[in-house]
Structures are given as structure tokens and as C-alpha cells.
Structure 1
Amino acid sequence: FETTYNGYTLFGYQFNPFVYYQVGAKLRLDVGAYIQQDFGNTEFSTVVPTFSLKFKHKNLSAIIGTIEGGLHHQLVEPLYDFENVLNKRIENGLQLLVEQEGLFLDAWVNWEKMIYFNDPDQERFVAGISLSKRLLNTNDWSLSIPIQATVRHAGGQIDINPKPLTSVFASASGFVINKNTSGVIKSFGLKSYFLTYKSLTSRIVPYKDGNGIYINPYVQSKFGLGITGSYWYGNEFLTNDGGQLYPSTTERYPFLVQPTRILYMLRILYEKQLMKGLSLTARVEPFYDTYSDNIQYAYGFYFNFTDRFFLGHAKEN
């Protein structure tokens, strides 16, 4: 996208078959594989095993192994880029989940890179928490308070990598107001966030700290069509894993630093259930960048197929 981000195409498929064994009433073992191939590439871009042990008691879940990552964290886009679902789908580590009416809590550690003695690479991991608490729910109106934070760390003591260690903190907090209706418009509301960024180490970065404002009025129809308008104002803001349109430094021109970043965006999302287990999602996202003074866009089409079938009971001796 002009002076802010290199445009590119993601075209391919992701396949994640797995089997699970119910060890007991509260414990489940999942074993499978994740396969991704980009069309135009004769080799698989990713082939990794998936393994998770899940403990569930009422509304509380604990997972070790392959965790429920990606969009399940419910992070805002300046903290988590939607395209990470396509580029960095699998997360491994430890996760604690609380999911109940009016409350969502997700705390996790995603260990991205393991190192050993004299390793040429740094260890890398991300720790995060995502909390949403509903404070009001009356007459079809609801008010929720989201609080989100991530810390990305790269370093270690047994590697031989000359790069200095880094630890970067980013957070988002705000409010979500929603109104349910009974007509063609299913719901409408406002999602508003204040974001912060802070470098926790002495590594030289363009800015040691920064902040941003992210405002999103939205409307959702009963036909699966949703429209969201977004306003972003970033002040010396950098991001760990968020969308590359938001930070004050760019991927295309790393030496181009924009202390103030202002964006106006329109998101049009359509979701359709085509048949049992098969759904279509279409996204169109034009945006106006005040720095380059032009309108750019992104779009995507996604087919998702999910099915589950019973293999049988384990025999008892």
C-alpha cells in the first residue's frame, strides 16, 4: 500500500485434521497436524504436528500444547493483525480460559522459538491477557469493558545471537456499547479503545512509548452483512503483532518514521452459511491514509469447512 505497507496476495488452503480422546469427564487429548499450502508453491509452506491436553470444569478451561489462538483471543487489530490467522496460525504453549455469560477471559503464553546452548537464534515468546466484562444488559442495550495486553520478548542467556534482548508491552482498553433490534438491522453499536505501547528494554527503537485511539461504529444486518467504520489516531505507537497499517514505522520504508498516524477505514464483512459445516466470509476494506493522501484497499474471500464424526469407544480390558 503505497508508502505504508507492501501489498501482496495470499492464495491457498489450510488443513487441520485431528482426533481426540476423551480421557475422562473433564480431560481431553487432541492429536493432529496442521498443513498449509500456498497456491503457486509446489511444496507445503507449513507442516507441523498439533497436540493439546485440555482440562475443562464448568466455564473454566486449561490447555497445554496447541492452544486456541488467533482470533479466539479477541484482540483489537492494532494488537493482533487479522492476517496472522493466515501467516502464523498455530500457537503452542499454555492457556487459561473462562467463558460464560457476560464474561470472557483468555490468558496465554505462546512460545514461538525454543533455543539450546550456543543457539544462533534468540528465544521468542508472547504472553497475553484478554478480558471482557459485561456491566449492563437491559432493554436490548449492553455495555462491556474490554481490557487487553500483550508482551513480546526476544532474548535468552544461552544463545550466541549478538542482538540485544527486547521486551515490548502493548495494551488496549475501552468500552463496547451494543443495541439489539428486531428489524433488518440486527444490531448496531460502538467499540472504542485507548491503546498504549512501551519498550521495556534499552534496545534502540524509534520511540520508547506511545499511544493511540481506535474508534469503531458498526451496524450488523440479519442477512450476514456487517459494516464498520474505523478511525485510528496513533501517536508514536508501535505494535507487537498488530496490523502493519497502524504503527509509526513502516515495513516498506523502515527509516521512514511517522510520529502521528491517522487512518479512516471502512470494513464491509459478509458471512454466509452455504451448507452444513461450510461457510463463506467476504471482506472488503477501503481506507484513507492521511500521510500519503490517497485511498487504498484490501479484500479477501474465505471458505471454512468444519466437520466432526465419531470413530468409536475405546475398549475396556
Structure 2
Amino acid sequence: MKKLLCIITLFYQFNASAQESVFFSNENNKTFEVDKFGVSVYNANFIKNDEYFNNIADGLTLLGTHLHPEFIYNSNNKTQFKAGIFLIKNFGENNIDFAIPTFSFNYIKNNSQLTIGNLFTKNNHNLIEPLMASEKILSNDVIETGIEYKYDSNKINFDAWLNWENYIRKYSEVREVFTMGMTSKLSVLKHLSIPIQYVYYHRGGQINKKYRSENNLDNTMNFHNLAMGLEYATHPNLNKGFTFGYNYLYHITNTEIEYPFKTGRAHYVTLTYKINHLQFLLAYYNADKFTTAKGNEMFQSYSLKSNINYWNGELDNRYVGLEEPNRSLLFTKVFYQNEIANNIKLGLQIEGYYQLNNSGTINYLLSNKKNQFDYSYGVFLILNDVFKL
């Protein structure tokens, strides 16, 4: 049992050191401490306000609560079955927005962990912000369905998963959708490691209805994102230290209908300083036609504005077709988190984006957005506890 708890602690330490958002939290590592039967309870209450006025991403406010109670059955100290329900309520509405049944099987042996069923990805698989938006964990997308394998040792941290997002039957009107990914970190020296991250997004299917046309969106779509680089960390412990990271980003896709560029690349440089409950992140991002399938919209090279405004009674379509192939940003983030009571954590976060490039000149309505500053702020309170039965 002591060996098992050491393995779980390794998982926790890796996830904590790679954290990029105050909203991230780890799997509850106490679930295997239950002898036979138990209940775990996860509750997150949050607000995140995005004050964005650029030409790429919409400003919005996320405000709500998540509740995820699960029944735990540990047949032994290696195998675990969990069943529960994941509830989402957006504040300001009288109804529950999502009620998702969850089931998962976990198997742990030595440094490996295998999960089949629902994956509760409260840390985005440790993906960097340009590849996976941290706001995902504030939506129902935090619950994934598929399979995940993790391996953690002193030298290698590895996470590979499949998230099946849309199941289809014969003659379905929609396509199957899934995402596959991998994150790994190889320690080569005492403070130096090599991170590699990959995300593959697919829409297709052989048994669904297909409608052929010149601008057909029903053909198979494949999108690949890759990030690789170096990370130098001076953490003497988990409470204080610097981390410098560099990632080279690349994408390739088989369609220019939904995404404007078939290939693209970017550079992402980060400097993080952590002291006790505070963490400071300063980043530089420079893109050459780079786009992502799941990343933060602020890092896209084309506009994702929702175009719901009207000018003199006509729909405002000035953002349609807007591209910023050479998008360049300074990005900063400050967050504070602290355990204010047993298994209850409070967090605060402020982020800012300073745009270094000019926006596209698709029409005269668009102003020059160079030197544009956008920001967001957020607060959360999380309960994450396990009760023995």
C-alpha cells in the first residue's frame, strides 16, 4: 500500500509543477485509500470574465458551478470502479444545464495507470494553452469519454488518451468526432527536460449520411497539432522557483474550408516564477499561419468572432474571412491559490494579452489593433474530498 501511495504522489507532483491555470486541479489522490467502498465529491464554483475587444476572440463571462459525486469500489489496491453523475449549472438560469452519467475503471501497477470510461481531465492533460484552452475545464468538455494511459517515473512523465466526442449510428446525420493526444516530458539533466505534446482532432465516419457538394463540410477532416521544445526548472521544491520553457508549434490539416491555413508554425516562450501560493507567468507568442483545433482562441491566426452585432439593421460580417497570419502576443498571467480549509481551495487569476501585430485590412470597418490590450480575471472555490463508507 505504501508503494501505491508513493506512485500516486508522483502523479500529483508532476501535475502540480506543470500547472498553467489556477482553475486546474488534480485527480483526487485519496480515492485508493478507501478500503472497499467510498464516495468522492468534487464541487467547483467559479467566475471567469474575459474582457476581449480584439478582432480574433469574443469576450464572454463564465459563471457557474460543477458538482460531481462518485461512488467508489476498490476491489483491491490496484483496481477501482467509479460511477457518478456530473452536474453543471450556470448562474443566472433556473435549470441544470448538463447532467452527465460517469463511469470509469482504473488500474494502477508500478508507475503505470490505465483508465477506461470517463476521464475527468481537470488539468487538461498538462497541455500548454495554445494547444488546449484552459477554459475547457469550466464547461461540460471537462468530462471526456475513452481511454487514458499514464506513466510517471523520475525520468519520464507520459500521458496518452483518446476522447470519443460524438458517437454515430447507421445513417446518422452527423459525423463521428474524436480527439487523441499525448503529452510527455523526458528529464535529460537535473533541471533540464524535453516536453513533447501532440493533439489529433478527427471528424469523419463510414456509416453516416454524406452530402456531396462543392463546399462540402461532410468529408473527413483531420487536424494535427504538435509542440516540442525545452524546459529548464530551478524548483528546489514545489513552493519556490523559476521555470523557463520554449515550444515550437506546428499544425497541418487536410482542409482549408474550416481553417484558413493547411500548415503553420509558431514559437511559444514562457517564464514562470512561483513563490508559495503565488505564481507569475510571462510569455511571448509569435505565429506564422498557426492554428489549433482545441487551443485558446486568442492564439488563433484567424477570427472566431461570433458576428452577432448589427449595423443599421444589417448583420455585422466584418470579421468573416479576417486573418492574422503573423499574430504576435505578449501574454501574462498571475494567480493565487490556497487551501482555506481541509480539501477546500480558493483561487484568483488575472491574465493579460498585449497585441504586437496589426490586424488584417479586410475592410474599412476594422481598426488597427496593434497595441491592443485584452484581459480577463477569475475566482474559484473548489471542494475535493473522499468519504469512506
TM-score bracket for the superposition, by shorter chain length: over 0.9
Amino acid at match of 2:153: Q
Of Structure 1 and Structure 2, the greater helix share is in: 2
Matching residue within 166, 170, 175 for 2:225: 170
User: SS where residue 172 of structure 1 aligns?
Assistant: strand
The CA deviation string for residues 26-66 of structure 1, in whole angstroms up to 9 with x for no partner, is: 21101111000000111111110110011111111111101
Matching residue within 39, 53, 77 for 2:105: 53
The CA deviation string for residues 95-127 of structure 1, in whole angstroms up to 9 with x for no partner, is: 111122332111110000000111111110001
Paired residue for 2:45?
none
Paired residue for 2:198?
149
Rounded to whole Å, the distance in 2 between the matches of 1:67 and 1:133 is 24
Matching residue within 248, 258, 273 for 1:219: 273
User: SS where residue 309 of structure 1 aligns?
Assistant: strand
Deviation at 1:282, TM superposition (A): 0.9
Amino acid at match of 1:51: F
User: SS where residue 138 of structure 2 aligns?
Assistant: helix
1:151 and 1:36, CA in 2 relative to 1: closer, same or farther beyond 3 A? same
Matching residue within 168, 173, 189 for 1:120: 173
List alignment gaps of at least 5 residues for structure 2: 1-51, 212-217, 306-318, 359-368
User: SS where residue 294 of structure 2 aligns?
Assistant: coil
Q: Is the 8 A contact 1:51 1:65 kept in 2?
A: yes
Amino acid at match of 1:218: T
Alignment of 1:83 onto 2:135 = yes
1:80 and 1:203, CA in 2 relative to 1: closer, same or farther beyond 3 A? same
Alignment of 1:15 onto 2:67 = yes
Residues 126-205 of structure 1 mapped to structure 2, 5 A cutoff:
126-137=179-190, 142-162=191-211, 163-180=218-235, 186-200=240-254, 205=259
Deviation at 1:203, TM superposition (A): 5.6
Give the number of the structure with larger relative contact order, counting CA–CA contacts within 8 Å between residues 6 or more apart. 2
Paired residue for 1:255?
321
Matching residue within 92, 101, 115 for 1:63: 115
1:216 and 1:204, CA in 2 relative to 1: closer, same or farther beyond 3 A? closer
Rounded to whole Å, the distance in 1 between the matches of 2:144 and 2:320 is 27
List alignment gaps of at least 5 residues for structure 1: 312-317
1:9 and 1:72, CA in 2 relative to 1: closer, same or farther beyond 3 A? closer
Amino acid at match of 2:251: Y
Deviation at 1:150, TM superposition (A): 0.8
Rounded to whole Å, the distance in 1 between the matches of 2:267 and 2:246 is 8
Amino acid at match of 2:150: L
1:9 and 1:289, CA in 2 relative to 1: closer, same or farther beyond 3 A? same
Rounded to whole Å, the distance in 1 between the matches of 2:328 and 2:179 is 27
Deviation at 1:176, TM superposition (A): 0.9
Deviation at 1:286, TM superposition (A): 1.3
The CA deviation string for residues 125-158 of structure 1, in whole angstroms up to 9 with x for no partner, is: 0011111111111xxxx11111010100001111
Alignment of 1:307 onto 2:379 = no
User: SS where residue 245 of structure 1 aligns?
Assistant: helix
Deviation at 1:213, TM superposition (A): 0.3
User: SS where residue 306 of structure 1 aligns?
Assistant: strand
Deviation at 1:69, TM superposition (A): 2.3
Paired residue for 2:335?
269
Of Structure 1 and Structure 2, the greater strand share is in: 1
Q: Is the 8 A contact 1:153 1:167 kept in 2?
A: yes
Rounded to whole Å, the distance in 2 between the matches of 1:34 and 1:18 is 9
Q: RMSD of the TM alignment (CA)?
A: 1.6
Amino acid at match of 1:190: F
Amino acid at match of 1:154: R
Matching residue within 233, 236, 258 for 2:289: 236
Paired residue for 1:315?
none
Rounded to whole Å, the distance in 2 between the matches of 1:54 and 1:204 is 37
